[in-house]
Structure 1
Amino acid sequence: MKRSPIRVDAVLVQAVIAGALSFAHLHDLAAAAGQTGWKAWAYPVSVDLLLVAAWHRLRTLRAAGASARSAWSWFTVALAASLGANVATAGLLDLGDVPDWLRILVAGWPALAFLGGTLLVHTPAPAEQPSTDADTGAAEPAPVEAVIEREDVASLEPEPVPALPAFEPEPTPAPDPAPDPTVVTVPPALVAHARKVADDHHARTGSPIDTDTLRARLGVPPVMADAIAAQLA
């Protein structure tokens, strides 16, 4: 047997019953205070709308972390009007002979409800706070700037390597005999740099640097490496 997808919510049913009873009590009190016809039906609508508007505004202000005193005040006024009507129609007052002060309250309610609704609707909303690290409770650490002296900066800079001359051998159909190393022109700066490399190699290994190692350290063609080695000898 297929069950119906509609389920009765006890809380919703209770809310409907309570709302209907309160609505009827407000209507009876307004009618007894001289508000006949459609006006007696408008009073419970006005009270309930003000109650709902104040509750909605109250939740909005509390979620934004702003003061909700005004919303609480109008919520209390609407709740007092609803509870007062429920208590008054329970036999405490003679609805056939309503006192003058109650007639004054009922007659002045529309202006009071209009004022409360206007203030609740047109009160400016609180400005949104910029996103910070307040959720985590930790403040962002201040950036630390490293102070470096001029001498330290100079020591950190690498020694400039002299630019190597462009060397593009032209292809020939047959291999030429090995050229004379003394014919190749080597810049003096490159020779000085190669001498430092050779001295460093000799200090670390105790033996003179060979041509292949010198060529690999300098990154030059074999012909230029032979020319440099010939000038270092």
Structure 2
Amino acid sequence: MRSLRVDAVLVQAVIAGALSFAHLHDLAAAAGQSGWKAWACPISVDLLLVAAWRRLRILRTDGAPVRAAWLWFAVALSASLGANIATAGLLDLDHVPDWLSILVAGWPALAFLGGTLLVHAPGPRPQPTPAETEATGVERAPESVPEAVEAPATAPALPAPPPATPAVPAALVAHARKVADEHRARTGAPIDTDTLRVRLGVPAPMADAIAAQLA
């Protein structure tokens, strides 16, 4: 029973292939590919279809990406299916449009490109067998899991030492007093530390020390 089912599938495949081949030949002949060229076009389409399908099965078995193989399989299937539809009465084979003649004429170059890319596409890198690993003496080291590093205990923060009060010359204090008196007479308010620092051109710590002596 199994052999009968296989034979029926095989006969169906032969009939479908012969009809598709004939449709591609008729379309190529109508597009200006006369003589042996009209027979070469369907052969080119079928060969690309078979090559793409075989490459697709190999890539699937190896677990490699199959996007490129699917692309060229779709291109070849579209060419075969398009010829079958075009010769079903939807296209006047006596007046083939120019774009279709250009497409048929350029098909051999496209098929050659697709076949070349399918055949020479890089496959997955083979993994070394245990025997090869033992012969070369190279063995992949197991990945080490980093051990958890215990964070050191945080030491208690020590209080910051009080800043040293800069020594202020008496002459600078006297000058600052004049500046403060002038500011009070002009504004009616005591001079603040920032204004005093700007007027005297001294650092902030020294301005604080002078302001403390003027208070």
TM-score band by shorter chain is 0.5 to 0.7
> In the alignment, which residue of structure 1 is the partner of 2:41?
43
Aligned pair 1:118/2:119, yes or no? no
Question: Could you tell me which of 29, 32, 54 is aligned with 1:31?
Answer: 29
Q: Which whole-Å deviations, capped at 9, do the CAs of 1:149-177 have from their partners, x for residues lacking one?
A: xxxxxxxxxxxxxxxxxxxxxxxxxxxxx
Aligned pair 1:102/2:96, yes or no? no
> In the alignment, which residue of structure 1 is the partner of 2:197?
none
> In the alignment, which residue of structure 2 is the partner of 1:86?
84
> In the alignment, which residue of structure 2 is the partner of 1:180?
none
**Alpha-carbon distance between aligned partners in 2 of 1:81 and 1:62, rounded to the nearest angstrom:** 24
Q: CA deviation at 1:125?
A: 1.9
Q: Which runs of 4+ in 1 moved over 4 A?
A: none
SS at match of 2:40: helix
**Alpha-carbon distance between aligned partners in 2 of 1:129 and 1:61, rounded to the nearest angstrom:** 16
**Alpha-carbon distance between aligned partners in 2 of 1:74 and 1:124, rounded to the nearest angstrom:** 16
Q: Which whole-Å deviations, capped at 9, do the CAs of 1:99-158 have from their partners, x for residues lacking one?
A: 0110011011000000001101111221123569xxxxxxxx99xxxxxxxxxxxxxxxx
> In the alignment, which residue of structure 2 is the partner of 1:9?
7
Superposed, 1:1-233 pairs within 5 Å as 9-130=7-128
**Alpha-carbon distance between aligned partners in 2 of 1:131 and 1:84, rounded to the nearest angstrom:** 47
**Alpha-carbon distance between aligned partners in 1 of 2:102 and 2:84, rounded to the nearest angstrom:** 18
Instruction: Please identify which structure carries the higher helix content.
Output: 2
- Structure index of larger Rg: 1
Q: Which whole-Å deviations, capped at 9, do the CAs of 1:77-110 have from their partners, x for residues lacking one?
A: 0000000000000000000000011001101100
> In the alignment, which residue of structure 2 is the partner of 1:189?
none
Q: Which whole-Å deviations, capped at 9, do the CAs of 1:165-224 have from their partners, x for residues lacking one?
A: xxxxxxxxxxxxxxxxxxxxxxxxxxxxxxxxxxxxxxxxxxxxxxxxxxxxxxxxxxxx
Structure 2 length-normalised TM: 0.57
**Alpha-carbon distance between aligned partners in 1 of 2:66 and 2:117, rounded to the nearest angstrom:** 13
State the one-letter code of the partner of 2:81. L
Taking only the aligned residue pairs, the percentage that are identical comes to 80
- The unaligned stretches of length 5 or more in structure 1 are 1-5, 133-140, 143-233
Number of residue pairs matched by the alignment: 129
SS at match of 1:9: helix
**Alpha-carbon distance between aligned partners in 2 of 1:61 and 1:16, rounded to the nearest angstrom:** 27
**Alpha-carbon distance between aligned partners in 2 of 1:130 and 1:79, rounded to the nearest angstrom:** 38
Asked whether the 8 Å contact 2:29–2:38 carries over to 1, the reply is: yes
Asked whether the 8 Å contact 2:64–2:123 carries over to 1, the reply is: no
State the one-letter code of the partner of 1:56. R
State the one-letter code of the partner of 1:91. G
Pairwise CA RMSD of aligned residues?
2.0
